Amino acid sequence: MSSKSNHTEPDVVVIGGGVVGGAIALGLARSGARVTILDEGDAVPRASRGNFALVWVQSKGFGMPEYAMWSRRSADDWHGLADILGEETGIDVAHSQPGGFMLCLSQDELGKRVDAMHRLHNQTTLTDFPYEVLGHAETKRRLPDIGKDVVGAIYSPLDGHVNSLKLFRALREATTRRGVDYRPNCPVESITPRDGGFRINGSWGEIATAKVVLAAGLGNARLAPMVGLDAPVKPSKGQIIVTEKTAPFLHNPMVTVRQTDEGGVMIGDSQEDRGFDTVVGQPILSVMAERAVRMFPRLAGLNVVRTWSALRVMSPDGFPIYDLSRSCPGAFVVTCHSGVTLAANHVLTLAPAILSGVLPDAVASFSARRFHV
Amino acid sequence: MKPLTEIGQLAEHYDLAVVGAGPAGLSAAARASELGLAVLLVDENPEPGGQIYRSITTTPVTDRAVLGVDYWRGADLVARLKRSAAAYAARCTVWSIAPDVESDGASFEIGLSLDGRARLITAGQVILATGAQERPFPIPGWTLPGVMTAGAAQIALKSSAIVPKGRTVIAGCGPLLYLLAGQLAAAGAEIVAVLDTTPRRNWPAALGALPDFLRSPYLAKGLKLMAKARRSLRFLGGVTSLAVEGSGRLSTIRFERGGASESIACDTLLLHQGVIPSVNLSNAAGCAHEFDTVQHCWVPQLDDWFASSVPGIAIAGDGAGIGGAESAALRGEIAALDSARRLGRITIAERDNHAAPIRTALGRTLRGRRFLDLLYKPATQFLAPIVDDTIICRCEEVTAGQVRDAAKRLGVTGPNQMKAFLRCGMGPCQGRLCGPTVVELIAETRGTTPAEVGYYRLRPPVKPVTLAELASLPQSEAAVKAVVR
Amino acid sequence: MFRPMSDAKSAATLSFSFDGRPLIGRDGDTVAASLLANGVDVCRETPVSGAPRAPYCLMGVCFECLVVIDGVGNRQGCMVPLRDGMTIETQHGRRQPEEMQG
């Protein structure tokens, strides 16, 4: 497993084989780099297997308008990413951007949401982020299946969704076809800067590389300090319910309800700080189910086939961390809780920049140095 | 026995909840109740008995010889339960078991559903007696109508007194194959052939365990069954491949033996290659499992009292590892004794005294089991189908070739990643019919073992429950806060 | 596909329909057993490819016997006791929205 001889040494090692690592690796490979992905095994927590699959813009970026713009840019570029994945792998990741709704079940909820949107848009530079506040009647006109308890909604034409498991697979397929060396069951124990590059070790052996990208999700918190970086990410637990397949009836994604291209209805999303605990909590399922049925009464009779909880990769302010190491040039960290939304940026913008050694201005605000002021 | 027919009749709390009313569950519930515990026995079927004693109180089969004396013994187990004070909820599913947060983990929160209404109750101790299922038998064409498990035909016989109409072929291996063939023939089914897939190369390994088998109750019973079945039925041994043919429905079973290809036209094909523990509930409840290389299946990790890795959850009967009906009943008793001890109702000494004779009997019933396990271990080609087009996940229609490709080319090392990439295990059966095969295919492709590959991490609900049912369950302020932000 | 044993205990008969066809079943049988006894070969078409399927395990494990019962889709025929007057239909692929009224 160890690559001691120089001729197999990759240009870049990406640590982490999820949606974030896969996207970075694909972007690097498309730019001509020889890439190795070091991944862990089957049973580790993986946000890539547990997420809600939205390509979402509305409501993002309060406190950091750059995040709104970064999300918007990725949503715009997602059409191109879907095409690329289709061409390279033959996999249709079911990307669509029909506009998304945030349904509210009380005037209080709607009021809070409207306030939040106002505050978000009062930030300078957020000029071209269209959204609408809709009452019950107009929401009902656009989404005839809503229940009487829906008092209104916020709608943004920028929002969409994708089949995130197909995205995950397409990234693996595309990187494999481009010769990326994917190594499962290779958890990284140490990264040592040496001779202007890095030696990466684990019980599986050692690999040397000129550049390393940390895309290990929650694992980044442990790895970053080894190369002079900081990634103070913590798990944020979210629960999801998925129903049996049903005939298509829900065209648009909601923040908390969406129908997948296969037909199942996904219901989310809770948020709890409970460390690495992933036990599914019954009261939360009950709240999520009850709200979903009030939003769409016809969901009531559907069988639930699975519930699960997954861990978001959350930074102290909730925004991504993109950074390059000053003390160990060639080391980068990429971490966020919106690996699906930001996949287009990661493939098309961030990866080529990493290969060139300079991060783009658009992500200058995402350095972890923001936590040290 | 206190029969409960509506979900509202269940108490808020029981000392012990027993899941499954087969031999293990019936004995566990009866014994625990006799020891003074407040017991709830829950079972999804309309009548007690599990699969082996299926419909024991209601079967329309009148000729007792058809099902054999062993079947009718189940009546005693049900009679004992009826004499006890245990509460019994039929047609009630358990879809979730989790530590009860309110009691700080001192008891379990159990999600149940009956007649489309869900409830959460608590129990201090849990005994899972969810038994076994037939091992998946993926061969080309096994999804065609006309193909079913041999166990299914037996269930139809016991509960409805119906038998396959027309030409019937039984294929596979395992001690139950002879029993099933004999019962169906006695019931009047037209069994045109029994295709035996027992690998001849299993014999050397099995011979080491032969002495125990020769002293076991299996011997006489097994020989009688086999002799009877062989006398009256056409047995074709050494079958090395099977494929179902037909357009829209089974018409022919094609098979190979001794290197030659043969085929038989038939209306029904019954498949069977042994039984494996049902692990969905124990897995979803967080109990640790390990791969048993002799029985070649996943079994829960248990101590001498059948206590699992989750304190307070015990697993009795075939769900604890395949041992058959008689041993299941005995294991149920042992698990119940330990539940009573954990609840402080009997002392360790009392528990041990009660258990001693039961353990002796259990040892007797299990003697010889190893020989059967080794002899009837399914051939590799029936665990990991060779033909790439063979469907291995019946729900999502995933093929063996797709799994091999993902394991080999995309570096998928385990079933959970496979599920994410191919959707195998994501359908309504929740991996019950594909899990063992997916693991086997990954192990084969990557040159490793099922134990290394691991198994699905299963999630509640393990039985169907509607969104409306979930919505009707208690909420908490913290839960609302976690969702409405 | 199945036929009754000659000396089976008699039971009350129940009327039900399958895809509009009037059929007779026995009290005490499940929906799946009643369909088998009535010669019904196919009870559903899969949501993935539309392939025909029939009951496979009869013990609640395989979910192959899914049918529409009294308008409610994707019910496990082997777990539901037959009732007089039941309307049973083939489950064609994914469950239809009109079956979802709660």
The answer to whether A266 touches A257, Cβ cutoff 8 Å, is yes
Treating both helix axes as pointing N-terminal to C-terminal, what angle do B325-342 and B348-366 enclose, rounded to 10 degrees?
A: 170
pLDDT of residue A5: 42
Grouping H, G, I as helix, E, B as strand and the rest as coil, residue B64 is helix
Shortest Cα–Cα distance, A145 to chain C (Å): 10
**How far C43 CA lies from chain B's nearest CA (Å)?**
9
- Contact between chains at B467 and A302 (C-beta distance less than 8 A): yes
Give the chain A residue whose CA is nearest to the CA of B461.
A306
pLDDT digits (tens, 9 = 90+) for C15-59: 999 999 999 999 999 999 999 999 998 999 999 999 999 999 999
Q: Does B356 touch chain A (CB under 8 A)?
A: no
pLDDT category at B105 given cuts 50, 70, 90 is confident
Non-local CB neighbours of B407 within 8 Å, separated by 6+ positions? B413, B418, B441, B442, B445, B446
**Chain A, chain B: beta-carbon pairs less than 8 Å apart:** 148
More confident residue, A3 or B207: B207
Chain C residues with CB inside 8 Å of A302's CB?
95, 100
Q: Is residue A3 predicted with pLDDT exceeding 70?
A: no
Neighbours of chain C (3+ CB pairs under 8 A): A, B
CA-based torsion, C86, C92, C94, C96: positive or negative:
negative
Nearest to A302 among C47, C93, C100 (CB): C100
B415 touching chain A per CB within 8 A: yes
**What does pLDDT average to over chain A?**
94
Kindly report the nearest CA distance between residue B417 and chain A, in angstroms: 6
Residue B142 has pLDDT above 60, yes or no: yes
Rounded CA-CA distance A71/A61 in Å is 9
Q: In what order do the strands lie in the sheet with B167-173?
A: B147-149, B268-273, B167-173, B190-196, B235-236
Q: Name which of B194, B175, B201, B235 is nearest B370 in CA terms.
A: B175
Is B11 in CB contact (< 8 Å) with chain A? Answer: no
**B362 in the Ramachandran plot: left (φ > 0), alpha (ψ -120 to 50) or beta?**
alpha
Nearest CA among B230, B209, B233, B232 for reference residue B219: B209
Question: C101 pLDDT exceeds 70?
Answer: no
Residues A329, A308: Cα–Cα separation, whole Å: 40
pLDDT digits (tens, 9 = 90+) for B62-91: 999 999 999 999 999 999 999 999 999 999
Scanning every residue of chain A, which has its alpha carbon at the shortest distance from the alpha carbon of B411? A184
- pLDDT band at residue A365 using 50, 70 and 90 as cut-offs: very high
Residue B305 has a pLDDT of: 98
pLDDT band at B224 (very low <50, low <70, confident <90, very high): confident
Between CA B111 and CA B460 the distance in angstroms is: 9
The nearest alpha carbon in chain C to A243 belongs to C95
Closest chain A residue by Cα to residue B471: A290
Neighbours of A, requiring at least 3 CB pairs below 8 Å, are B, C
Between CA A281 and CA B282 the distance in angstroms is 17
Taking Cα atoms as reference points, which of A51, A124, A130, A119 lies closest to residue A313? A51
- Chain C, residues 7-66, CB within 8 A of chain B, namely 7-11, 26, 28-30, 33, 36-37, 39, 41-42, 46, 48-49, 51-64, 66
What pLDDT digit, counting tens, does each position of B151-187 carry?
999 999 999 999 999 999 999 999 889 889 999 999 9
The band of A235, judged by pLDDT with boundaries at 50, 70 and 90, is very high
Between positions 102 and 121 of A, the ones with CB within 8 A of B are 109
Beta strands B268-273 and B147-149 are parallel
Residue B334's SS3 state is helix
CB A71 within 8 A of CB A54: no
Q: How far is CA A155 from CA A52, A103, B70, C36, C68, in A?
A: 18, 9, 66, 51, 36
Cβ separation A293–C102 shorter than 8 A: yes
| pLDDT class of B232 with cuts at 50, 70, 90 | confident
Please report the number of interchain residue pairs, chain A to chain C, with beta-carbon separation below 8 angstroms: 38
Among partner residues B410, B420, B453, which is closest to A176 by beta-carbon distance? B410
Residue contact C96–A247, C-beta within 8 A: yes
Residue A49 CA, distance from chain mean position: 11
Which parts of A130-271 fold into alpha helices (H)?
Answer: 136-142, 164-177, 220-223
The answer to whether residue B447 neighbours chain A at the CB level (below 8 Å) is no
Angstrom CA distances, B468 to A298, C79, C94, stand at 10, 20, 19
Contact B428/C5, CB-based, under 8 Å? no
pLDDT: is C97 or B62 the higher one? B62
Rounded Cα–Cα distance for residues B290 and B286 (Å): 13
More confident of the two residues B228 and B81: B81
Q: Which of B152, B229, B137, B144 is nearest to B191 (CA)?
A: B229
CB contact under 8 A, C5 and B187: yes
Residues A80-118: tens digit of each pLDDT: 999 999 999 999 999 999 999 999 999 999 999 999 999
Q: How would you write B404-442 as a 3-class SS string?
A: HHHHHCCCCCCHHHHHHHHCCCCCCCCCCCCHHHHHHHH
* Residues in chain B within 8 Å Cβ distance of C67: none
Q: How far is B354 from chain C (nearest CA, A)?
A: 34
- For CA atoms A352, A354, A359, A365, the dihedral sign is positive
User: Which chain C positions have a beta carbon within 8 Å of B152's beta carbon?
Assistant: 55-59
Percent of chain B with pLDDT over 90: 91
Residues 81-110 of B with CB under 8 A from A: 96, 98-99, 101, 109
Tokens of residue B396, six digits: 């999502």
Q: For residue range B263-279, list pLDDT tens digits in order.
A: 999 999 999 999 999 99
B385 touches chain A (CB under 8 A): no
> Computed from CA positions of residues A283, A288, A291, A293, in that sequence, does the dihedral angle turn out positive or negative?
negative
Q: How far apart are CA B198 and CA B379, in angstroms?
A: 7
Residue A181 in this model has a pLDDT that exceeds 50: yes
Contact criterion met (CB < 8 Å) for A244 and C97: no
Structure tokens at B126: 């849990």
Q: Select from B397, B142, B251, B434 the least CA-distant residue to C54.
A: B142
CB contact (8 A) between residue C47 and residue A300: no
Residues of chain A numbered 253-312 and touching chain B (CB < 8 Å): 256, 262, 267, 269-272, 279-293, 299-308
Q: Which pair of structure tokens corresponds to residue A102?
A: 């945030």
Is the CB of residue C96 less than 8 Å away from at least one CB of chain A? yes
CA A215 to chain centre: 12
Determine the distance in angstroms separating the CA of B344 from the nearest CA of chain A, rounded to an integer: 29
| Region of residue A274 (left: phi > 0; alpha: psi -120 to 50; beta: else) | alpha
Phi, psi torsion values for A199, nearest 5 degrees: -115, 125
Query: Residue B318 in contact with residue B277, Cβ under 8 Å?
Result: yes
Given a cut of 90, is residue B228 above it in pLDDT? no
Inter-chain CB proximity B267 and C1 less than 8 Å: yes
B/C interface, count of CB pairs below 8 Å: 133
Burial B61-82 (b: 16+ CB within 10 A, else e): beeeebbbeebebbeebbebbe
Of B165, B394, B397, the CB nearest to C64: B394
Mark yes or no for CB contact C97/A247 under 8 Å.
yes
pLDDT of residue B67: 92
Å from C41 to nearest chain A CA?
A: 24
Per-residue pLDDT, C98: 61
Contacts of A297 in chain C (CB under 8 A): 101-102
* Residue-level pLDDT at A4: 41
Confidence of residue A7 (pLDDT cuts 50, 70, 90): low
Which of C33, C51, C54 is the closest to B156 by Cβ?
C33
Q: Is the pLDDT of residue A1 over 50?
A: no
What pLDDT, on a 0 to 100 scale, did the predictor assign at position A123? Answer: 82
d(CA B109, CA B313) in angstroms, rounded, equals 12
> Which of B445, B411, B404, B419 has the alpha carbon at shortest distance from A36?
B411
Instruction: Chain A: give the shortest CA distance to residue C49, in Å.
Output: 12
Say if the Cβ atoms of A307 and B459 lie within 8 Å: yes
Compute the average pLDDT of residues B437-448.
Answer: 98
Give contacts of B148 with chain C, Cβ < 8 Å.
54-58
By Cβ distance, the residue of A299, A300, A303 closest to C74 is A303
User: Which of B60, B147, B429 is opposite residue C8, by nearest beta carbon?
Assistant: B60
C100–A298 C-beta distance less than 8 A:
yes
Confidence (pLDDT) at C17: 98
Q: How many CA atoms are closer than 13 Å to the CA of B277, on its beta-carbon side?
A: 29
Cα distance from C88 to chain A (closest Cα, Å)? 17
Nearest to C94 among A246, A297, A299 (CB): A246
Q: B93, B148, B430: which to substitute to probe chain C, counting the most C Cβ within 10 Å?
A: B148
Using CA atoms, how far apart are residues B399 and B430, in angstroms rounded to an integer? 16
- What is the spatial distance between Cα B314 and Cα B308, in angstroms, rounded to a whole number? 5
Lowest mean pLDDT among A5-14, A203-212, A354-363, B170-179: A5-14
Cis peptide before B461 (omega within 30 of 0): yes
Contact B151, B318 (CB under 8 A): no
Digit-coded pLDDT (tens) for A182-213? 999 999 999 999 989 999 999 999 999 999 99
**Nearest residue of B to residue A180, measured between CA atoms:** B410
- State the burial class of residue A283 (Cβ atoms within 10 Å of its Cβ: 0-12, 13-18, 19+): buried
